[in-house]
Amino acid sequence: MGPAVPYVHEVRYYECDRMGVTHHSNYARIMEEARIWWMDRLGYGYDRMEAEGIVSPVVSISLNYKHTTTFKDLIEVEVKVADMTELKLSFSYVMRVGGKVVCTATSTHCFLDAGRPVPLADRFPELYKAILSTL
């Protein structure tokens, strides 16, 4: 994948609440944008996964807010694989504005084929190897 490059999200006006602060619910969306971007860079985007019959729903999510962000802030998101088991993949996210950490987060995903959990290494070995190469 090359050197670590953060995903960048510019806070939109509609993502802010009446206090002018990015609403907390938007951070989960930013995580999803960053995760999709990360998978595209890996060469195994969500469109490819779904075309090959795999879906990867979120099974858990955790966010820790450190500082507020506001309209037009550029949130740089560092995405990494935090853990991978036979059936689950966890990502960690560090979000920064101007070098200052504004949020840390994790998400865990399983892999399903026809609605049933599948071991990634068995069913999708190419994707499994690609993810392993990032560790």
For domain 7-132, give the CATH number.
3.10.129.10
Domain segments of the chain: what residues?
7-132
What average pLDDT does the segment 10-20 reach?
96
CB 93, CB 103: distance < 8 Å: yes
pLDDT digits (tens, 9 = 90+) for 20-62: 999 999 999 999 999 999 999 988 888 888 888 888 999 999 9
pLDDT digits (tens, 9 = 90+) for 66-104: 999 999 999 999 999 999 998 999 999 999 999 999 999
C-alpha span between 79 and 38 (Å, rounded) = 7
What average pLDDT does the segment 107-118 reach?
91
pLDDT at residue 1 tops 70: no
pLDDT at residue 112 tops 70: yes
Instruction: Give the pLDDT confidence score for residue 3 in this predicted structure.
Output: 53
pLDDT at residue 128 tops 60: yes
